[in-house]
Amino acid sequence: MSAGDLANSVSSNRSASSMRWGRAAREFLKTAASVSVTILGLLALTFFIGRLLPLDPVLAILGDDASQEAYERMVIKLGLDKPMWEQFITYLWNSLHFDFGMSLTSGKPVTEDILRVFPATLELATVAMILGTGLGIPLGVLAAANRDTWIDQVVRVISLIGYSAPIFWLGLLGLVVFYAGLGWVGAPGRIDIVYQYDLETRTGLYLIDSLLAGRLDIFADVFGRIVMPAAILAYGAMAYISRMTRSFMLEQLSQEYIIAAQAKGASRLSVVWGHAFPNIAVQLVTVVALSYAFLLEGAVLTETVFAWPGFGRYLTTALLRADMNAVLGCTLIVGLIFITLNLLSDVFYRIFDPRTR
């Protein structure tokens, strides 16, 4: 290669590298702008919801018997005497610093309350997600591979029940049968009061904390209590994941490359798991991510039935007591969870599917 050709090659490589970095920078700025606008819209939505609801935050704090003088002092203290735009700017500033005000229910900062209750929901949702994904994906693949057979019908009926049955009814039924009747699972609640103050909470996840502490007796108690509510949540997630997996697989199994693989003598197992399934992995990333987000914010009824001291139960209590600081703080956290998991699913898209890069 001549010196001129070498110089042209180097120049071409540099140009291609610059173009790649330029595209990456534009993509990053585009994503950052989209996320920023979404968060701003979420903040605006929660702010105006708090202002439009027929609930007086001053009376919620002072009570209905408060004097006019005390009422006016509290209005000034809360900044409600200021123009709406100034209140919104203050709300934006405080929210960006995760300052959601004081909870009327606990008398503590809402952020502190959320940090206290969220690990319980995170642990419950994670166990449920592992169960739901571990069962939902194989069942969906099995149903698609045996389309219109009795196997397919059974999986579809199981999924239909998971979609249709009310969560609170399944929870109560599970308690009656497996706790009160058979004694296979632990009592409602997260941990026995005997162990509550013996466990050193390093992560806030009791299953992990009990193992780190070497307390198998506490681990057994916590596991016995989490298995039933996690199974109830997992059933709903499994129904959705199995249905979507079946739909994705049916589309892939009808493609020409599957017919070509079968014509070449590939085994049924190889065709299903080796050829078709990898091509739906990218789609399943989004399905699993959204299912996980729904589990994190949708465990309200399950936590209520099983007396689980988590995020959903905290939000329910705040709603019943008109604790708007807590309600709006929880609403914002739920929105941020969905935004974060959507971003992570986009990242996994680029990892699993080179075409998106």
Q: pLDDT, tens digit, for every residue of 314-343?
A: 888 887 777 777 888 888 888 888 888 877
Burial class (CB in 10 A: 0-12, 13-18, 19+), 4: exposed
Helix (H, G, I), strand (E, B) or coil at 309: coil
pLDDT of 106 higher than 80: no
Calculate the average pLDDT of the chain: 79
Question: CATH 1.10.3720.10 region(s) of the chain?
Answer: 110-356
What's the CA gap between 258 and 261, in Å, rounded? Answer: 5
Look up the pTM and report it: 0.79
Percent of the chain clearing pLDDT 70 (strictly above): 83
Q: pLDDT, tens digit, for every residue of 278-297?
A: 888 888 888 888 888 888 76
Residue found by looking up tokens 């439009």 in the block: 52
pLDDT of 81 higher than 80: no
CATH-assigned architecture of domain 110-356: Orthogonal Bundle (1.10)
Q: pLDDT, tens digit, for every residue of 17-76?
A: 566 666 766 766 777 777 778 778 777 877 777 677 666 666 666 666 767 777 777 777
**CB-CB contact of 224 with 119 (8 Å):** no
What's the CA gap between 83 and 51, in Å, rounded? Answer: 12
Q: pLDDT, tens digit, for every residue of 193-242?
A: 878 777 777 888 888 888 888 888 888 888 888 888 888 888 888 988 99
